Chains A and B, each alone.
Chain A
């Protein structure tokens, strides 16, 4: 069994991706949710491209899987306290 890690935050391996694909999770958003890649500390900065490449290969070189998963804030993990007083900046609060 391959132990090649695709997502280092959540320890997702190539085997995990293959297994998920075999079970029918064949788009990047579903693959992400089923295996958990891109849901850890780096939020996909390190693994999304790898996962997309493997998915493309599993689909016989289909490059439509290159659509990235939806990017969301935050850019970097940031403590709650950094935003807690920002309500003062909101016009209507």
Chain B
């Protein structure tokens, strides 16, 4: 492992790797990435691959539009097929209040160029054969949302960054961050130390632990989020279907499997990734309710990953006062993967070319002290 670097990125998930990838392509390769497990060990290897632009805040819509554009290029750029399929996202609203809130977000999305439409349950049934719309008031649908296979996106970014000269260390655990006179000076790992003036905390569910090593308290809390996958079927389900009432979502992967999860308001914060029967039962119940024809499909596997949750459902990005050289790129909850291309690029331009961006003011850690938080309404889980 290198003993010094211009920049150390803690976390080899999609956020850290997207930053490494963009920095490397802009010419900055004196970068060390430290990943505690294998690539795809954390949430980046455990999520459902949903990529959507239906958000309730301008910042997230903008980041999502940019990220979709970048995902469309990623296979060509990296030589790794990420199986990005724009089959759309269909949200189901079951009560008037949810419907009204959804309609408001759709108007905002339309203003920003996302072609989302409010559609009737009857129209939704034409999009998804066999959809049970009993109790559904109205739906929103955006045809340019989609799903991808997360693993090759992670590998592709890592491969390109590595080839250009970034050092990616897997199975390496950060044990300490040395700070001198309010300046980060060193990252210590179980495989040696790296002297550096700049450290990026892109550790997802582990971000709060990493921050504490530098004496910074983050409000982030990790939550287990469970998910399951069925046997592969021939393609029949175009959009991702998501029920806003209970936070169920499922889609068909390019391999043909039905893959999805469900929110659980009773899930406590933990670093747990065990599988539960409770999830299995609730998810199956919801799948049958939404799409009864799934009842005979066989489930192959269930697993779990993490949501790195902040109090307002928005990420923590940028500097933390009064420390120099400690940059946060974490707290993405359940939508870090889909925003990572844009966030990585914006962060790379900020670090390398000092080009500022509003997300570093809007989403900085200090917003919780200033009371300038604005909740993202359209989070699932």
A and B interact: yes
Q: Given A79-B296, A80-B294, A84-B285, do A73 and B280 touch, yes or no (CB 8 Å)?
A: yes
Cβ contacts under 8 Å, A92 to chain B:
266
Which of B17-25, B33-41, B128-136 lines the interface with chain A? B33-41
The 8 A CB mask of A41-79 against B (1 = contact, 0 = none) is 101000000000000000000000000001011100111
- Could you tell me if A79 and B297 are in contact, using CB atoms closer than 8 angstroms? yes
Cβ contacts under 8 Å, A86 to chain B:
277, 280-281, 284-285
- Could you tell me if A30 and B284 are in contact, using CB atoms closer than 8 angstroms? no
- Could you tell me if B288 and A90 are in contact, using CB atoms closer than 8 angstroms? no
Cβ contacts under 8 Å, A85 to chain B:
285
Cβ contacts under 8 Å, A77 to chain B:
231, 298-300
The 8 A CB mask of A81-92 against B (1 = contact, 0 = none) is 111111101101
| CA of A83 to CA of B295, assembled, Å | 9
- Could you tell me if A80 and B297 are in contact, using CB atoms closer than 8 angstroms? yes
Is B78 among interface residues, defined by CB-CB distance under 8 A? Answer: no
Is A27 among interface residues, defined by CB-CB distance under 8 A? Answer: yes
- Could you tell me if B278 and A90 are in contact, using CB atoms closer than 8 angstroms? yes
- Could you tell me if A34 and B284 are in contact, using CB atoms closer than 8 angstroms? no
Cβ contacts under 8 Å, A74 to chain B:
299-302
Is A29 among interface residues, defined by CB-CB distance under 8 A? Answer: yes
| Shortest distance between the CB of A31 and any CB in chain B (Å) | 9
- Could you tell me if A90 and B282 are in contact, using CB atoms closer than 8 angstroms? yes
Q: Given A72-B301, A73-B302, A80-B230, do A87 and B281 touch, yes or no (CB 8 Å)?
A: yes
Number of A-B residue pairs having CB atoms within 8 Å of each other in the complex: 85
- In B257-306, the 8 Å CB interface with A consists of 266, 275, 277-278, 280-282, 284-285, 287-288, 294-303
Q: Which residue of A lies closest to B304 (CB)?
A: A72
Q: Which residue of B lies closest to A74 (CB)?
A: B299
Is B350 among interface residues, defined by CB-CB distance under 8 A? Answer: no
Q: Which residue of A lies closest to B296 (CB)?
A: A79
User: How many residues in A have their beta carbons less than 8 Å from beta carbons of B?
Assistant: 27
| Shortest distance between the CB of A64 and any CB in chain B (Å) | 11
- Could you tell me if A80 and B300 are in contact, using CB atoms closer than 8 angstroms? no
Is B13 among interface residues, defined by CB-CB distance under 8 A? Answer: no
Q: Given A90-B278, A90-B282, do A78 and B298 touch, yes or no (CB 8 Å)?
A: yes
Q: Which residue of A lies closest to B154 (CB)?
A: A33
Q: Which residue of A lies closest to B45 (CB)?
A: A33
Q: Which residue of A lies closest to B152 (CB)?
A: A34
Is B363 among interface residues, defined by CB-CB distance under 8 A? Answer: no
Is B155 among interface residues, defined by CB-CB distance under 8 A? Answer: yes
- Could you tell me if A33 and B151 are in contact, using CB atoms closer than 8 angstroms? yes
Is B368 among interface residues, defined by CB-CB distance under 8 A? Answer: no
- Could you tell me if A93 and B45 are in contact, using CB atoms closer than 8 angstroms? no
Which of A79, A82, A83, A85 has the most B CB atoms < 10 Å from its CB?
A83
Cβ contacts under 8 Å, B299 to chain A:
74, 77-80, 83
| CA of A90 to CA of B284, assembled, Å | 13
The 8 A CB mask of B193-231 against A (1 = contact, 0 = none) is 000000000000000000000000000000000000011
| Shortest distance between the CB of A14 and any CB in chain B (Å) | 21
| CA of A89 to CA of B277, assembled, Å | 10
- Could you tell me if B39 and A30 are in contact, using CB atoms closer than 8 angstroms? yes
Query: Which positions in A face B, CB cutoff 8 Å?
Result: 27, 29-30, 33-34, 40-41, 43, 70, 72-74, 77-87, 89-90, 92-93
Beyond A29-B37, A74-B300, list 4 extra A-B contacts (CB 8 Å): A34-B155, A74-B302, A77-B299, A90-B281
Query: Which positions in B face A, CB cutoff 8 Å?
Result: 37-41, 45, 151, 155, 171, 230-231, 266, 275, 277-278, 280-282, 284-285, 287-288, 294-303
Nearest 5 CB-CB pairings of A with B: A86-B281, A77-B298, A81-B295, A83-B284, A84-B288
